[in-house]
Amino acid sequence: MVTTHNLGFPRIGKNRELKFSLEAYWRGETSLVDLEKTAQDLRQTHWLSQQHLDWVPVGDFSFYDHVLDTSLLVGNLPKRSDARLGDVDRYFQAARGQSSKNLEQTPIAAAEMTKWFDTNYHYMVPEFDQDTQFQLHAERYLAQYQEAVNQGVNAKPVLLGPVSYLWLGKAKDDIDKLALLDSLLPVYEQLLIALADAGAEWVQIDEPILATELGSDWQHALTQAYFSLHKTPVKLLLASYFGPLRENLNLACELATAGLHIDAINAADEFVNVVDWLPPHKVLSLGVINGRNIWKTDLNSTLDKLEPIHQRLGDRLWLAPSCSLLHVPVDLEQETTLDTEIRNWLAFANQKLNELSILAQALSSGRQAVAEELNANAEAILSRQHSKRVHKKAVQTRLENISSDMAQRQQPYSERVGLQQKQFVLPLFPTTTIGSFPQTPAIRQSRRLFKKGELDQQRYHADMKAQIELAIREQEAVGLDVLVHGEAERNDMVEYFGEQLEGYIFSRLGWVQSYGSRCVKPPIIFGDIERPQAMTVDWINYAQSLTDKPVKGMLTGPVTMLNWSFVRDDQPRSVTCQQLALAIRDEVQDLEQAGVKIIQIDEAALREGLPLRQNDWQTYLDWAVFSFKLSANGVANETQIHTHMCYSEFNDIIESIAAMDADVITIETSRSDMELLDVFNAFDYPNEIGPGVYDIHSPNIPSVASICQLMEKAAQRIPPERLWVNPDCGLKTRQWTEVKPALEAMVNAARQLRLDV
């Protein structure tokens, strides 16, 4: 027999029930009882849809985030949270913070949020300081276990392992996080004993740090942790995922656990080694179904690999998705309007678990037992492999003919800058914005009706042009130097372009949790990318026709398009990225042809694509930067290329940022008090920079003085003639009543700065 199990199920609900229930509760419209009821219903539904598995995950459900759940479980919610609140409200307070309702109250800061390994999911960072003590708070966790048992589920509790928990946290007071392990382990031990008492046989314990580069201290901590947890009466299945184990492979095999799960998708060439290394008493769980993408698994070729392993391991072989299914949408069944040919190539969470059962049956009873399913799968795989919509000769020929000079500007920045200055005659400290202006209810309504077919194209275009005109008039009134059209026609910076490119498809309900109640619906890149026609030229042309000031063309870059989409698994990411780059390159050149002199190519997600291991960073950065340059650099010296990145960590990638060779880069800096520019300074970053002078996430209007102060700090680090003045990011989430005075302050500050120089 082959055992099947799942590492975790998406918790948001196939119609985002959890999101809506959470938000209603936070708005005070519903009670905690209502929220708990929704959560219970979701768990029940999710367990039901997994009951064909041998082991079903329990404890993977979360109101907000599983790392924050762990903090609650081990009694380590941030201390500043209000102790008078109940557990759930304290938990939400830690997640979301609390603004002060009156003057006596001090606001309570939310815990920090950061990326969960190399995914687009974000977790709440645990906090440690010299007073940190742990204490088990297992009531909710154990209650869920009981709930599952009562429902007749073969429950396998899931926990974030103690060493990864510490690794993911942030230590204050200069303490050594690892020193906390000794006091954390007893809490885990107690919990495991309580689970055993409640009847649990297997417990899945996740140590995703096994797929990262670990110092010997962390490796040793793992040894120590499992040496002591092993003594509890449960069987531990240690789970690693998201990447290969590499130098941690022996360690993972030898840790004192009853079983090991590995990501057989991202560590495909390792699993034979693991089979060799694994001690004979251990179970090996192979994550052979990709938990990070939405493609059907090639079941027959997977079986080709699994059958010999099954022969060697027999009952010791378990099968699972590569990682928790948190990162994929719930159910393809709902996608009734999706192109049927492409739909037949896809699998969401429910479908993936079904694939798992087919594989297990084929191994246990022979392929003929599931011949029909395997044939249908083979047909789908073949249809995708041979589809003309996926593989396009013209795109491939273009790709083969990419040469390195296509990614190179004609002259270096030092030569271009003079030509550009002559053309634009911009003042010192030129002012601009990042692209979007407020997305008002009227704009959203218009776009929605147009999409539904209830507003004809003519009316819709008239609406959008009116918005562009408004944006231009406002910018002129404020006195900005370089204008934008405002992006009213864009719902989302990736979706807008994806919808106009061939090779992209959009699901209706393919939501994936990003953090808390926030979800994203990543577009799906299924085939070779082609741009049938210009995507932005008419809008920018129209905007430019209204003013004598230069209007920036506004595009999303290839790396961001890639990193915020579900991508193909039949070619390297780098190849898909180059295809996107060629499509954007065509748009850049069309804009230039149309007389647009400044073109901004946003790469908001460039950093997000960094691989798990630092060893692999350079390879990624090389092709990512090349793709950006391929998209941007097919222009004349006089054309000014801008890029925008909204994050504040450049230390470790500054060389690649400089290699992008954008004439101007705008970045988020206001919250770092311009210290972020130190690294640009230290690196002698040669081109122009627009450090954000105010935080667009806040409704606060910056003062002229605060902007001047920030810019003076900037000028201590970057020569003034290379500085621009702009907000941190786009303004689409703000209101005009906030935007106008903020930009006025910005323009006034720039004027003052010019006088002072």
Q: Catalytic residues, which ones?
A: 697
Residues pairing with 5 in the sheet = 55
Long-range contacts of residues 110-113, Cβ cutoff 8 Å, at least 24 apart: 111/68, 111/78, 112/170, 113/515
Report helix, strand and coil shares of the chain as percent, to nearest 5.
45, 15, 40
CA distance 393 to 700: 53
Closest-by-Cβ residue to Zn ion is 646
Window 103 to 132, contacts with ligand GLN (CB under 6 A): none
Give kind and range of the element (H or E) at residue 526.
strand 524-530
The CA R_g of the chain, rounded to the nearest whole Å, is 27
Q: C-alpha distances in angstroms, 23 versus 38, 516, 520?
A: 12, 10, 16
Question: Using the rule CB under 6 A, is 734 a contact of ligand GLN?
Answer: no
Q: Determine which residue in the list 59, 435, 503, 634 makes contact with ligand GLN, applying CB under 6 A.
A: 435
Q: Which of 74, 472, 729, 746 binds ligand GLN (CB under 6 A)?
A: 729
Nearer of residues 45 and 491 to ligand GLN, judged by Cβ: 491
Q: CA-to-CA distance for 588 and 598, rounded, in angstroms?
A: 10
Instruction: Name the nearest CA neighbour of 609 among 628, 595, 632, 590.
Output: 628
644 marked as part of a ligand binding site = yes
Q: In this chain, which of 11, 447, 642, 732 binds ligand GLN, going by CB under 6 A?
A: 732
Total residues interacting with ligand GLN, rule: CB under 6 A? 13
- Which x/- pattern, by CB under 5 A, does the window 628-657 give for Zn ion? ------------------x-----------
Would you say 525 and 576 are in contact if contact means Cβ atoms under 8 Å apart? yes
Question: φ and ψ at 82, to 5 degrees?
Answer: -75, 110
* Contacts with Zn ion, 720-739, as mask; x by CB under 5 A: ---------x----------
Name which position in 298, 335, 602, 688 contacts ligand GLN (CB under 6 A).
602
**Residue 625 interacts with ligand GLN (CB under 6 A): yes or no:** no
Residue 47 marked ligand-binding: no
User: Which CB, 498 or 527, lies closer to ligand GLN?
Assistant: 498
Nearest distance, CB of residue 653 and ligand GLN, angstroms = 17
Which residues pair with residue 128 across a beta bridge?
171
What residues does 431 pair with on adjacent strands? 725
696 binds ligand GLN (CB under 6 A): no
296 is in an annotated binding site: no
Of 94, 325, 338, 604, the residue at the interface with ligand GLN (CB under 6 A) is 604
Q: 462 with 468: CB under 8 angstroms?
A: no
Is the CB of residue 166 less than 8 Å from the CB of residue 225?
A: no
Q: What minimum distance in Å lies between the beta carbon of 651 and ligand GLN?
A: 20
Q: Which stretch binds ligand GLN (CB under 6 A): 104-112, 134-142, 428-436, 580-588?
A: 428-436
Parallel/antiparallel/unpaired status of strands 113-115 and 122-124: antiparallel
Per CB under 6 A, 641 contacts ligand GLN: no
- Contact criterion met (CB below 8 Å) for 540 and 485: yes
434 binds ligand GLN (CB under 6 A): yes
Which residue from 577, 689, 566, 567 is spatially nearest to 622, judged by alpha carbons?
577
The b/e string for 223-239 (b: 16+ C-beta within 10 A; e otherwise) is ebbbebbeebebbbbbb
Q: Closest separation between CB of residue 734 and Zn ion, Å?
A: 13
* By the rule CB under 6 A, 552 interacts with ligand GLN: no
Our finding on whether 493 is near ligand GLN (CB under 6 A) is yes
Nearer to ligand GLN, 294 or 625 (CB): 625
The annotation status of 726 as a binding-site residue, yes or no, is: no
Dihedrals phi, psi of 723, to nearest 5 degrees: -105, 140
| Residues 6+ positions from 215 with CB-CB distance below 8 Å | none
Q: Which one of Zn ion, ligand GLN, none is in contact with 436 (Cβ closer than 5 to 8 A by kind)?
A: ligand GLN
Residue with smaller CB distance to ligand GLN, 568 or 642: 642
- Per CB under 6 A, the list member of 249, 482, 554, 581 interacting with ligand GLN is 554
CB of 605 closer than 8 Å to CB of 564 = yes
Pick 74 or 599: Cβ nearer ligand GLN: 599
Residues in the chain: 757
Which residues make up the interface to ligand GLN (CB under 6 A)?
Answer: 434-436, 487, 493, 554, 602, 604, 644, 646, 729-730, 732
Q: Which residues participate in the annotated binding site for L-homocysteine?
A: 434-436, 487, 602
Q: Which residues are annotated as a binding site for Zn(2+)?
A: 644, 646, 668, 729
